[in-house]
Amino acid sequence: MTKVYVGMSGGVDSSLTAALLVEQGYSVTGVYMKNWTQDLPGMRCPWADDLADAKRVAVHLGIDFKVFDFENEYRQKVVDYMIDEYRAGRTPNPDIMCNQEVKFKLFLEAALEDGADLIATGHYARVADGQLLQAVDTNKDQTYFLYRVTKKALEKTLFPLGEFTKPEVREMAAARGLITARKKDSQGICFVGQIGIREFLSQYVEQKAGDIIDAQTGKVLGRHDGAIFYTLGQRHGLDIGGGLPYYVVGKDMDKNEVYVTTNLNDEALWRNDVMLHSLHWISGDAPAEGEYMVRVRHRAKLTPVTLTFGEDGLVTLHFKDAERAVAAGQSLVMYDGERCLGGGIVA
Q: Which residues are catalytic?
A: 98, 190
Reduce the DSSP state of residue 155 to 3 states and report it.
Answer: coil
Sorted by sequence, the CB contacts under 8 Å of residue 316 that are 6+ apart come out as: 273, 274, 275, 276, 307, 308, 309, 310
Reduce the DSSP state of residue 284 to 3 states and report it.
Answer: coil
- Report yes or no: 3 and 29 within 8 Å, Cβ to Cβ: yes
Sorted by sequence, the CB contacts under 8 Å of residue 304 that are 6+ apart come out as: 291, 292, 293, 294, 319, 320, 321
Write out 28-85 in H/E/C secondary structure. Answer: EEEEEEECCCCCECCECCCHHHHHHHHHHHHHHHCCEEEEEECHHHHHHHHHHHHHHH
Give 307's strand partners. 290, 317
Q: Is 183 left (phi over 0), alpha (psi -120 to 50) or beta?
A: beta
